[in-house]
Amino acid sequence: MPLTAGANRRSQLKKQYWPDEQEWDGMGSGWFKSPRTLPLILALLSAKELTAGRDISRVYLELLARHMDGGVIEVGNESEHAYAAGYTGGRAVRTWYERMQLLEDLGFIKSRRIGSQRYKLVLIVDPIAAVTGLRKEGRVPDEWWEAYRLRLLETKEADVDYLGQLASVSAAADAPKRAALPVQGSTDVQLALRKQR
């Protein structure tokens, strides 16, 4: 299969500048799927204004790294998840629980308790739906929102029509405190957006 023009250019750059280095090409096993907007999402999840200083980006990234397909993660040993997210010591699992609860409160995951395990099954929610829910609640800064929408278009995670739908959410968020409007939870936004897709 012939290389695309971009792939050919990158191959030439690699040969020119790093001829003896082993590159990571994302092929084979040991990698995970993620949206190209992930750096922006992680920045939002580490924002003190959203999480009251409790950075939940590592927990979210660790969950994504365990995701195989279908949005569902079967959590094995919770202490292994806590350690992989960077939590050690006697409070590791408790801290991980707190971050998981915050991810769920913000609409990025849903979970099911099975038996005595608090987080046995975890559903990764479409991040576009989660972010849109937060935006509708007025919890996403304008500057971040505009950068996110532009990156969605650049990466083709959303098309112009879908971005138009997001713009209507943006307009609703910009309205003065929406005193007369009921605040919809992220679940309502997710369902509405999925129906429109």
Confidence of residue 192 (pLDDT cuts 50, 70, 90): very low
For residue 135, what are the domain limits?
Answer: 127-175+183-190
Quick one: 137 and 104 in the same domain? no
Residues 72 and 118 occupy one common structural domain = yes
Residue 17 has pLDDT above 90, yes or no: yes
State the first-to-last Cα distance of the chain, in angstroms, to the nearest integer.
33
Per-residue pLDDT tens for 35-50?
999 999 999 999 999 9
Q: What is the pLDDT of residue 69?
A: 85
Q: Which of 41, 76, 47, 79 is nearest to 60 (CA)?
A: 41
The secondary structure of the chain as a DSSP string is -PPPHHHHHHHHHHHHH-TTS----S-SSS-----TTHHHHHHHHT-HHHHTT---HHHHHHHHHH--STTEEE---HHHHHHHTT--STTHHHHHHHHHHHHHHTTSEEEEEETTEEEEEEEEPPHHHHHHHHHHTT-S-HHHHHHHHHHHHHTTSS-HHHHHHHHHHHHHHHSSTTTTSPPPPHHHHHHHHHHH-
Domain for residue 45, yes or no?
yes
How much is the pLDDT for 25? 74
What total of structural domains would you count in the chain? 2
Average pLDDT score over residue span 122-131: 94
In a domain, 153, yes or no: yes
Residue appearing with tokens 């996403």: 140
Residue 124 has pLDDT above 90, yes or no: yes
Q: Which residue has the tokens 């629980």?
A: 97
Does 74 map to a domain?
yes
Domain boundary among 124, 147, 164: 124
Mean confidence (pLDDT) of the chain: 85
Q: Quote the percentage of the chain above a pLDDT of 70.
A: 84
Q: Residue 92 maps to which CATH number?
A: 1.10.10
- Asked whether residue 166 falls in the same domain as residue 148, the answer is yes
Give the model confidence (pLDDT) of 56-96 as tens digits.
999 999 999 999 888 999 999 999 999 999 999 999 999 99
Residue whose C-alpha is closest to residue 119's, from 106, 140, 102, 131: 102
- Output the CA–CA distances (angstroms, integers) from residue 24 to 54, 79, 161, in the order listed: 32, 29, 35
Tens of pLDDT along 152-163? Answer: 999 998 888 887
pTM value is: 0.78
